[in-house]
Each structure stands twice: as structure tokens, then as C-alpha cells.
Structure 1
């Protein structure tokens, strides 16, 4: 019914709805860059910062006539990839594991509610009882689009649920965003992670932050000179 929201296997805190140490979800913890994925198809109901949950996403699901809501908490700051009202697919990347909010170390706090989430968490159930498979492979949009006469990057980005900035970065398109009929565009995977360059950033430091290599960032973004990046530029980093 639901897939695990991470490939991380290490559980540091299990579901415990009673007693002195109540815990209404399951915690997965591991250092490094760990992608968090939607456990089932559904609609994003919350994508916000909470003082307790930190960077948090909630998704509403309807399965066989039953309403469920999943919670993904303590995500990495700035990593949330989905907005309220957006429809997501099972296995789609929605963020990165982090250490925000009321958290003492990098981990994902995952909750599953049979019914809507509420402050009392009265609908919380043990997610481990609902996982029917190992984590599925993240949804991918590894396809190529041929530009037609009259196409714009904006129109194409909307069709494939991406952005002009991501398309241009992925295809090394100049800032004027000019494209030509017959041109082949690679469509970014929904599982790709992007970073917005800040003043003082270097490719080396960005690669280290996202546990990847300078060579991979150069290849993903078709960068010829690693010393020529600029604030506001979107780079694929995973």
C-alpha cells in the first residue's frame, strides 16, 4: 500500500503511541545526502516550517476509499521540492533528510495517519504495518523533448512540472532562454536535486555539501569553467 519514504534502513525511534515516551511515527537516521520520497500518490496539504517538525511536508492520500495522511518532518532547510495543492506520485522526491525543528540529529520523522492528521495525533498508526514493498525506485522523467515551432521554455516547463531555471541549467541554455525548433531538450528527473548558488560559493564547496564530486556537477550542468558560476544560478547537485 505504502512504500518506505527513504532507502535508509536504520530506525532510531519506533512507533509508540502510549506510555511516557510517546512517539507517533518512525525515525530513520543516517548521515549524508538522503532523498525523501512520497510514500503513495496524493496531494500536498502542507509544506511549511514548524517549530517542532521543522521543515515539514504532509500529503493526503485516498486508497480504496480510505483517507490517509503522511507526515515527513525535520527535512533539510531549503530542500522541500513540493508546494501545497501539488499532486505527487509514489516514489517522487520531495526533499532531503535534515535536522530542523525539534531535532537532535539528522533524521526523518515519518508519520502515517488513518484519516487526517490532527494535533492529538489520534489517527496515527504504525507505518511499518503498512509498508508492502521495499522503497521503490524514485519516479524519473528521463526523457527528451524536441522543440516545436512556437514553443517556449516556460510552456515546456509547465508541461513537465519543472521550471525554466531547471530546464536551462539542465540543457546549458543561455540566460536569454532562446530555443530553436528541432532542438533536443533533456527533461530533468523529478528526483534531481537543485541548489541555488549564493555569493561566495564555489563548485568545490557545493560538491562537498551535497556529498558529490566537482566532476559530476560539471557534467550535470554542462559547466566548462568551474570558476564561472554566479549568485542565483540553479545547479543540479544530485
Structure 2
């Protein structure tokens, strides 16, 4: 039987093309590829997910990879595609949140898949605790704070920190330790958790042009993530909204 990629679950990956990209994809989805004469084979069958929709299409569907035009043709430049690997639901298979771009939808999507595997490996090596970030109930309360407050505008880090500290004071069951800095209280553990949630696609971190700081808002996977904790959120919804109103209103 031919081994084909079924649902199994660095950004130098943006430079991967052709057989090098195909090989990296095969390794990322835990196949057993062979490279012969510039072509990747899996169990003797040609495997070209970055160039053949028969190979790459099922991976895009399986991992819910989002693909869109990044540079439209009417700008006068070549069409550039972007792709986002959402990660949420695939953490146990060794994937984090990945993003990349490419000249075709397939190239962009496959690069994002390879990126998602690489980011996970780096975090795992550093003891990032992806599974812990996925399982802790209190993180759902942080995500909900960011989601509700994000209605006003994408949040700067000091605003997220202020929201979480105010929520703790209001009785929300969070357990961050805040240290007083020159301008405000800070929790390094909270900053780490935001990075983990971003890697899962639950929190979106972005840097505005001309702005040296990051901004935070709910990511593409926030709704699915929060759905798992709806009872917990329901118990604290009035307090959460009151905190957001006090800080952001």
C-alpha cells in the first residue's frame, strides 16, 4: 500500500522551494521520504505537495491551513500568497502556529506547515510547555479578557497586563505574580503565556508599522478554544466585562 499523507495530526522556511520543500513537508508529517534525482518519493511514489494539488491539497484540508492573496496582481507586482497554519487541535501532533508566504498557494501552504513544525520543536526544546498552555483553564479567562477588550482596539502589552492584574484583584481565579516596574506592574509569566497562545493561533500578536511594540487581539482559533471553557467563562462573565469596562472604557 502506498503511504500518502493522511491527517496525523525557522522563517528560513520561506526560502524552501521545489524538492527541498517537498522533502521538508514529508518529514514534517512524519512520512519516510527518499530523495532521488531531485525528486521526493514516499514508498516509491512521487510526492510533490508544493507543486501537485493531489499531494498538497489533502494536507491543506487536513490541517485547515488558511491561504490568501498577500500581494494582488493589480498592485503591479507578482502575485504573492500567504498561508497560516492554525495549530489549535494539532499541538499533540507536534505543530505550533506557523505563517509563511510564497509565489503559489501550494508553496505558501507547505512552507507554513514546515514552519509550524519547526516552531513547535524550538519551543519544546526550550521547555515551552505547549500542552500546559493548551490545558490550563485560567488561560481561557486571559483569552476572553483580550477578546472582549479587543473590541476597543488591539491591545498593547501594558494594557493586557493591566487587565489581568485588575481581574485578579476583582476575584478572577488567576495566579500571576506582578512585579512593580518604573511605569507599571509586569508579569513575565503572563508574557510567556501570551506567546504560547499566539503559537496556538488563539492570540494574535502583530507589530504595527512604525511601532516598536507588539499588539494583541483574539486570533483565528480563539472561538474554538473558548468554546471548551464556556461554563467557566459564564461563571465569570459579568466580572470580566466589568474589568474591561473599567480599564478600557
TM-score if structure 1 supplies the norm length? Answer: 0.29
- 1 or 2, which has the higher strand percentage? 1
- 1 or 2, which has the higher helix percentage? 2
Answer with 1 or 2: which has the greater Rg: 2
TM-score if structure 2 supplies the norm length? Answer: 0.28
